[in-house]
Structure 1
């Protein structure tokens, strides 16, 4: 499926569109590419998904259309032609999109099946979207994180607009103090008060927005903002993946002499580098294996030899003291 599948980035950059499929009010997100597609559907209670590759399209098309014999590219081209307008919210009329009809076969938490009926080369063509529940990761990736980012962007926009209105009021006040007057009284506005505006919005406008939410309101402006946010997120992910891609790194500059780390015992390092099934004890031999670790009595012998050297009497011919023969030579010098 890797060669004919639809990548997550491509689907993420698509926006949610309000659609009506078989009498169901849904939010849809779809991506058709080559001979594969991926589909997300949600009724704001559950989220379903389906990903279909080339082999699955061929098998399902033959299963539902036994009278038709065509290459998978022909089936997929016709499916894109009749399904894409409805899944993107462009063909809400039941008679549009080449007379494609959608009907709901099953809608539950565990399954969503939607049948499509159209006509291909004068013969009825059937297709079924068989969606299963989406994972929590998919819901977070396509709903939670983008919509949280959209809300942050809108909050930032509201703050900047409030600042701009305050500056406009200051400018208008300066004109008034300079003697300027409005030519039309209907253009007069009140000084913008952010606190009172927020209270009015919550008490009057918010109930209307919440009432419209039952209709899955996802207008064009919000779709555009959603697409911009997800595109920025995908761009950052691609840059991070490119920076951490091993193929982009330079040649290995590590020293060829691989030393054993201090935290790793020598036996552990040898055990990791040895070939499977090789006995390290037999491979090293008795002489080499014994030299890897000193005998228990070795340190004691070294200590006793050092102690005996310290307690022994000085040697008869120390290097620092003059010998007896130079003294005799001094005695010989008395006859001069």
Structure 2
């Protein structure tokens, strides 16, 4: 399976969802949520403690009835409302946070949302318990280290490009080339001078004051998402290859059950005259093309009419399965567009 095919089938987990800054009463938190049609996962941190909650459909319905008894809406509509409140924070939406104990580190976190749904007051409580250290590591620490490493690699590549550009410009100048406008002329790039300038710049001071609050702006979120997707691909590539190989081996075994229901679509090429399954070809010693159809059915399944019929049936089945798979992908895409 190629990486492109894998990406189309892959369903991201919580670790692959990028962090988003959440400003609550002047304090900046980082939050990430994974929503499905009937459940959600939430992870929240203030960079000192981490809180996590996972809510399934039944528990979600009970909380809706408790907090919003006058609202009748589907679970997916409720989840849409919660997600919109967290992402947009439109006018009329308030978000507050509290802790059940004075010690934040070991206490339950309650994130309260107050907004309106179809003109009616709507409130929601996220109730998070302290997350374990492993979850904190795999969702923030390790991805941040990977992001720093990737940005450092990109900086080295950009420096090489600038140095090559300087060589190219010097070559043009040696041949008498000149800029048409004086103000667009640039000085030769010197890496050490550039680094010193950055250290003394106002922007460096502002970035240190913010202490990384801009790490998950739009570009940072995209980089996080791409790194974690690539990590999942590299981590699961071996398992996917083994699964695919096992699936192909199973397809090459003799098929005793003629039922087509529940059969998975083939991951390999379609059956052709040059590659027929043993259930169609049979052992070479059993070939008896001169026998009648009646005797062939009882002894050898390798007469030409049966072979053609079996081949046509398999090809028709594969076409139908491929068509069903394409329809499923199309429905999934439409749902994703309409979801939130």
Q: TM-score range by the shorter chain?
A: 0.5 to 0.7
Task: Tell me how far apart the structure 2 counterparts of residues 119 and 191 of structure 1 sit (CA, whole Å).
Answer: 58
Asked if 2 retains the 8 angstrom alpha-carbon contact of 1:46 and 1:133, the reply is: yes
What is the aligned counterpart of 1:213 among 211, 214, 217?
A: 211
CA deviation digits over 1:10-51, x for unaligned, max 9?
222221111234654221111110210001112222221111
Are positions 1:139 and 2:142 aligned together? no
**Residue matched to 1:78:** 77
What is the aligned counterpart of 2:121 among 115, 121, 124?
A: 124
Asked if 1 retains the 8 angstrom alpha-carbon contact of 2:96 and 2:113, the reply is: yes
Change (3 A) 1:176 1:247: closer
**Residue matched to 2:227:** 229
Asked if 2 retains the 8 angstrom alpha-carbon contact of 1:78 and 1:120, the reply is: no
Aligned ranges 1:105-120 → 2 under 5 Å? 105-106=98-99, 108-109=104-105, 110-120=107-117
Aligned ranges 1:303-314 → 2 under 5 Å? none
- What's the TM-score, normalizing by structure 1? 0.63
Q: What RMSD over aligned residues (CA atoms) do the two structures have, in Å?
A: 2.6
Change (3 A) 1:100 1:146: same
CA deviation digits over 1:139-165, x for unaligned, max 9?
111112211111111111111111111
Deviation at 1:177, TM superposition (A): 1.2
**Residue matched to 2:14:** 11
Change (3 A) 1:117 1:234: same
Asked if 2 retains the 8 angstrom alpha-carbon contact of 1:105 and 1:113, the reply is: yes
Asked if 1 retains the 8 angstrom alpha-carbon contact of 2:22 and 2:28, the reply is: yes
Paired residues in the alignment total 235
What is the aligned counterpart of 2:95 among 75, 91, 102?
A: 102
- Structure 2 segments unaligned to the other structure (5+ residues): 1-9, 251-340
In our comparison, the structure showing a higher alpha carbon Rg is 1
After superposing the two structures, state which structure 1 stretch, 101-110 or 46-55, moved more. 101-110
Task: Tell me how far apart the structure 1 counterparts of residues 167 and 245 of structure 2 sit (CA, whole Å).
Answer: 57
For the residue of structure 2 that corresponds to 1:218, the secondary structure is: coil
Shift >6 Å, 4+ stretches: none
Change (3 A) 1:167 1:173: same
Task: Tell me how far apart the structure 1 counterparts of residues 60 and 174 of structure 2 sit (CA, whole Å).
Answer: 73
Deviation at 1:125, TM superposition (A): 3.0
Change (3 A) 1:35 1:193: same
Asked if 1 retains the 8 angstrom alpha-carbon contact of 2:38 and 2:79, the reply is: no
- What's the TM-score, normalizing by structure 2? 0.62
Task: Tell me how far apart the structure 2 counterparts of residues 17 and 75 of structure 1 sit (CA, whole Å).
Answer: 27
Deviation at 1:248, TM superposition (A): 2.7
**Residue matched to 2:319:** none
**Residue matched to 1:178:** 175
Change (3 A) 1:122 1:171: closer
Are positions 1:162 and 2:159 aligned together? yes
Asked if 2 retains the 8 angstrom alpha-carbon contact of 1:18 and 1:217, the reply is: no
**Residue matched to 2:298:** none
For the residue of structure 2 that corresponds to 1:189, the secondary structure is: coil
Asked if 2 retains the 8 angstrom alpha-carbon contact of 1:29 and 1:87, the reply is: no
Asked if 2 retains the 8 angstrom alpha-carbon contact of 1:23 and 1:104, the reply is: no
Aligned ranges 1:34-73 → 2 under 5 Å? 34-68=37-71, 70=72
